Amino acid sequence: MTLHLSRRRFFQLAGLATLAYPLRGLAALDTSGGDEIILINDIHITGVPAEKIPANAKADGEHLRLAVKQILARPQKPAAIIINGDLALAIGTAEDYALVREIVAPLREAGIPLHLTLGNHDVRDIFMAAFPEMKSASALKEHRHNSLIDLPSTRLILLDTLDKTPGPGGLLGAEQIAWTLAKIDEVPAKQVILIGHHNPQVGGDTSHYKGGIADTADFWPEIAKRPQVKAYIHGHTHEWTQALENGIHIISTIACAYVFNANTNSTGWTAARFNAHGFQLKLNTLETDHVWNGEAKWFFGRQPAPKKTAAPKKK
C-alpha cells in the first residue's frame, strides 16, 4: 500500500514551515540532548468481530501493532508514550479496551511509561474499569483522567477533553481549567506543552472548530498570559497541521488508525524531542515510502519578557 501526495498539495504543506523551523540551518543551536516521548493519536480499536468493522477501520488493529513494533525496534527507549484519545472505534466498550491492553502490552513489558487520554469515542467509566492502575494526576469532583510528565526542561500536561460519547465536540470544564492553570504556574522556569485529544477553537482551519473544545474562550486567554506555555498538541482531526495563536503553537499530529483523506495525509506516529530551546516533532509514517516519513520540524515558543531593572541614578 503506497500513498503519495500531489505535487501541489506537497508544496502547500511545505509552506507551513513558516510556522516552525525545519531541521536544516540549526547548526548554531544546541539541538542535541533533551528528552523524547512518542505521540500516537486516534487508534480507534474495536473488539467487535472483523465482519462488523467498517471498511475504513478494518486495518486499525494492524496499524497499532505495526506502530508498537516500530517503536520497540528503535535503539533507545522513549521517556514515555502517549496515546492521545479515541482509543475506541465507536463507543468505548470493555471489549475495545481489552484489545487495546493486549496490543500495547509489549510497550509496558519493555518498561516504557504509557499515558492514555480520552477522546469523543471513549467512555470514561468503562475506560477507568479497564485500566484501574492508571490513576489520574488530578482529583476533581467531576472526574477527569489527567496526567503530568515532567522532563528536565519541559512539563507536559495531559488533558481530558471528553464531553459526550458519541459526539464530536470536546469540553474541559471550569474545574479542569483551574487545575491546569495551577499546574502551569507550578513550573514558571519550564516550558509547558498542553496535550489533549480535541483541538482548541482558535488558530488553524475554522472548519474544525465545531468539533473542538467548546469552552476554549474560558482557558485560552489564561494560558496566553503564561509565557511558559509553548504549544497545544492535539489529535481528533487525523491530520498533520500547524497553526499559531497568541504565539502558542497549535499542532495536530498524524493519526494511527485511518485518515479522512488519503491524498493529503498518512497514518503513523510522532516522536517528540524536548530541550531548553523548544521541541522537535518527527513523523514516522506506517508507509515507509511516504513523502512525510522522517520529516522533522523544530518549534520555538514565546520567551518570558525580560525583567525591568531600575536605571542607575546619576551621580
Domain ranges of the chain: 7-22+33-299
**Residue 221, pLDDT above cutoff 80:** yes
Q: 7-22+33-299 falls under which CATH superfamily?
A: Metallo-dependent phosphatases (3.60.21.10)
pLDDT in tens, 286-308: 998 999 999 999 999 886 555 55
**Residue 33, pLDDT above cutoff 60:** no
Band the pLDDT of 310: cuts 50, 70, 90. Answer: low
C-alpha span between 94 and 84 (Å, rounded) = 19
Please compute the mean of the pLDDT values over residues 266-286 and round it to a whole number. 95
pLDDT in tens, 2-15: 344 433 333 334 33
Please compute the mean of the pLDDT values over residues 213-240 and round it to a whole number. 97
**Residue 208, pLDDT above cutoff 90:** no
Question: Residue 181 contacts by C-beta under 8 Å, 6 or more apart in sequence?
Answer: 219, 222, 223, 226
Band the pLDDT of 262: cuts 50, 70, 90. Answer: confident
- The model's pTM: 0.87
Please compute the mean of the pLDDT values over residues 57-72 and round it to a whole number. 96
Strand partners, 249: 231, 244
**Residue 130, pLDDT above cutoff 80:** yes
Please compute the mean of the pLDDT values over residues 247-270 and round it to a whole number. 93
**Residue 16, pLDDT above cutoff 60:** no
Band the pLDDT of 34: cuts 50, 70, 90. Answer: low
pLDDT at 71: 97
- In percent, the amount of the chain with pLDDT more than 90 equals 74
pLDDT at 167: 86
Element (H, E) at 271: strand 268-275
Measured in whole angstroms, the distance separating CA 80 from the mean position of its chain's CA atoms is 13
**Residue 61, pLDDT above cutoff 70:** yes
The average confidence (pLDDT) of the chain is: 87
Measured in whole angstroms, the distance separating CA 115 from the mean position of its chain's CA atoms is 11
3-state secondary structure of 255: strand
pLDDT at 313: 55
pLDDT at 307: 56
pLDDT in tens, 91-102: 999 999 999 999
Please compute the mean of the pLDDT values over residues 179-185 and round it to a whole number. 98
φ and ψ at residue 234, rounded to 5 degrees: -140, 175
C-alpha span between 259 and 74 (Å, rounded) = 25
pLDDT at 305: 54
C-alpha span between 211 and 198 (Å, rounded) = 7
Residue 66 sits at the vertex; the CA angle it makes with 63 and 72, to the nearest 5 degrees, is 140
Pairing outcome for strands 80-84 and 114-117: parallel
pLDDT at 308: 55
Band the pLDDT of 25: cuts 50, 70, 90. Answer: very low
